[in-house]
């Protein structure tokens, strides 16, 4: 009962006290005046700088000639804002608007316990400023970089908004959700660090941020890929093969099998993927490393027919990745039969380059061992937003990690 009373008294207070420092952020297409993105931001220091998510303003950074940023305060006054700094890896951006604003939300690293009640502010789906209650559930354990797990409903549009304690101190910045009250926050320390290294006044054009975005992604992917498929890692026995699995602690792996009575063959799938990814643009992200082992086996099909299935499945991966002509080049591929230490494989490596962030690539390596008459494996490694050095290094390490059981 005490808790319920507590809730009744504090939530309206929190909203009353702090909502005036929260703004709506819209990225508007200059030509048509159409809203391209809606998000939330908040005043974070005495210089009236505004913190939001990088993904809220990414369209402006990718096409500065096509978009502008408009911020609207709780009084309904609108002004145009400029970008002062970005942190792509943590999905943060610092903006500045010419209109003066008194007061700001307190950003300070504080120790809080799991279960502490927190309040998230934002503009869900442009429905007006909303306050959402939830609880603090600590930092995620399996991600490469820390994220706060917030058990409350953050919805699209609330991105970039603050999540505060009862005292109004910002704990994290709303960033993403998996639905069902599972939401994620960027820890406030990252926003403090970005504010520290960002200029107080705007001296840069929006266009100059794109190379910076590229540099940040480069640094990020090289730091985490350096730890992937390196050294002793767990292996998985699948049919006659011994294959890599969970190559670093920040990977998650799962498996499933298809054994249907109406099919003359069986399929076992083993998938691994990183949860960490960084938002590059609406159709691109970086840092996703995925791999999949698909074991095909049969006791019924003769070798010729089994290899029709095997070849068909191998070709089926020709389904592409998403992407458009402005962002990425077409794919180019190399196919060879390769002798690995334990046996021979058909191996195809395909890659494409990011047009606005040159030097970053999407790549896919597909490996299929040959020689067995009634078992086959299609193993696929996909990388997005990585440097070419890493495409080469990971492809090599992945091929070296494929072994045969004797």
> At closest approach, how far in Å is the CB of 215 from other proteins?
18
CB 42 within 8 A of CB 161: yes
C-beta closer to other proteins: residue 108 or 333:
333
C-beta closer to other proteins: residue 33 or 304:
304
CA angle 113, 139, 196 (to 5 degrees): 95
Beta strands in 245-374 (DSSP E): 251-258, 266-274, 278-281, 284-286, 289-297, 332-339, 344-353, 361-369
d(CA 180, CA 195): 32
Look at residue 59 and give its three-state secondary structure.
helix
C-beta closer to other proteins: residue 120 or 380:
380
The answer to the question of residue 55 lying near other proteins (CB under 8 A) is no
The answer to the question of residue 211 lying near other proteins (CB under 8 A) is no
User: Which of 99, 125, 305, 405 touches other proteins by CB under 8 A?
Assistant: 305
The answer to the question of residue 222 lying near other proteins (CB under 8 A) is no
CB 106 within 8 A of CB 119: no
User: Which of 44, 84, 391, 401 touches other proteins by CB under 8 A?
Assistant: 391
User: Which of 171, 351, 401, 405 touches other proteins by CB under 8 A?
Assistant: 351
* Main-chain phi, psi angles of 211, to 5 degrees: -60, -35
Stretch that binds other proteins, among 70-78, 93-101, 133-141, 385-393 (CB under 8 A): 385-393
Stretch that binds other proteins, among 54-62, 118-126, 285-293, 395-403 (CB under 8 A): 395-403
Q: Which long-range contacts (CB under 8 A, 24 or more apart) does 277-280 make?
A: 277/384, 278/88, 278/89, 278/91, 278/217, 278/220, 278/385, 279/54, 279/55, 279/58, 279/88, 279/91, 280/58, 280/88, 280/213, 280/217, 280/354, 280/357, 280/385
The answer to the question of residue 317 lying near other proteins (CB under 8 A) is yes
> At closest approach, how far in Å is the CB of 283 from other proteins?
10
The answer to the question of residue 306 lying near other proteins (CB under 8 A) is yes
The answer to the question of residue 331 lying near other proteins (CB under 8 A) is yes
The answer to the question of residue 358 lying near other proteins (CB under 8 A) is yes
d(CA 335, CA 313): 16
> At closest approach, how far in Å is the CB of 351 from other proteins?
6
Q: Name which of residues 254 to 283 contact other proteins (CB under 8 A).
A: 262-265
The answer to the question of residue 364 lying near other proteins (CB under 8 A) is yes
DSSP conformation class of 152: S
Look at residue 352 and give its three-state secondary structure.
strand
**Can you give the C-alpha Rg of the chain in angstroms?**
25
Residue 220 burial (CB count, 10 A): 21
The answer to the question of residue 310 lying near other proteins (CB under 8 A) is yes
Tell me which residues touch other proteins (CB under 8 A).
Answer: 262-265, 301, 303-312, 314-315, 317-326, 328-340, 343-344, 346-353, 355, 358, 361, 364, 366, 368, 370-371, 373, 376, 388, 391-392, 395-396, 399-400
């Amino acid at each position: 009962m005490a808790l319920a009373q507590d809730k009744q008294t504090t939530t309206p207070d929190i909203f009353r006290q702090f909502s005036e420092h929260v703004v709506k952020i819209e990225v508007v297409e200059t030509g048509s005046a159409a809203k391209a993105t809606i998000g939330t931001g908040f005043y974070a220091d005495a210089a009236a700088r505004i913190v939001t998510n990088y993904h809220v303003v990414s369209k402006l950074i990718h096409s500065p000639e096509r978009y502008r940023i408009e911020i609207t305060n709780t009084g309904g006054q609108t002004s145009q804002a400029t970008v002062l700094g970005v942190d792509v890896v943590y999905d943060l951006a610092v903006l500045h608007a010419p209109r003066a604003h008194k007061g700001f939300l307190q950003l300070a690293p504080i120790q809080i316990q799991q279960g502490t009640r927190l309040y998230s502010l934002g503009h869900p789906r442009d429905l007006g400023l909303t306050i959402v209650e939830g609880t603090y559930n600590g930092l995620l354990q399996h991600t490469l970089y820390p994220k706060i797990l917030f058990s409350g409903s953050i919805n699209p549009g609330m991105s970039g908004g603050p999540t505060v304690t009862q005292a109004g101190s910002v704990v994290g910045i709303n960033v993403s959700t998996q639905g069902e009250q599972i939401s994620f926050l960027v820890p406030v320390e990252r926003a403090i660090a970005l504010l520290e290294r960002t200029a107080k006044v705007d001296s840069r054009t929006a266009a100059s941020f794109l190379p910076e975005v590229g540099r940040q992604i480069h640094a990020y992917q090289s730091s985490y890929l350096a730890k992937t498929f390196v050294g002793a890692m767990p292996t998985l026995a699948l049919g006659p093969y011994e294959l890599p699995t969970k190559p670093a602690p920040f990977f998650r792996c799962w498996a499933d099998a298809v054994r249907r009575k109406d099919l003359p063959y069986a399929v076992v799938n083993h998938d691994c993927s990183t949860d960490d990814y960084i938002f590059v643009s609406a159709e691109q992200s970086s840092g996703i490393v995925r791999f999949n082992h698909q074991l095909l086996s049969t006791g019924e099909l003769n070798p010729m027919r089994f290899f029709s299935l095997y070849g068909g499945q191998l070709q089926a991966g020709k389904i592409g990745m998403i992407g458009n002509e402005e962002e990425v080049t077409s794919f180019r591929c190399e196919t060879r039969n390769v002798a690995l230490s334990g046996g021979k494989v058909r191996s195809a490596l395909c890659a494409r380059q990011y047009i606005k962030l040159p030097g970053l690539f999407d790549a896919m390596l597909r490996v299929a061992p040959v020689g067995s008459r009634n078992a086959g494996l299609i193993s696929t490694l996909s990388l997005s937003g990585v440097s070419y050095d890493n495409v080469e290094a990971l492809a090599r390490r992945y091929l070296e990690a494929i072994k045969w059981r004797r």
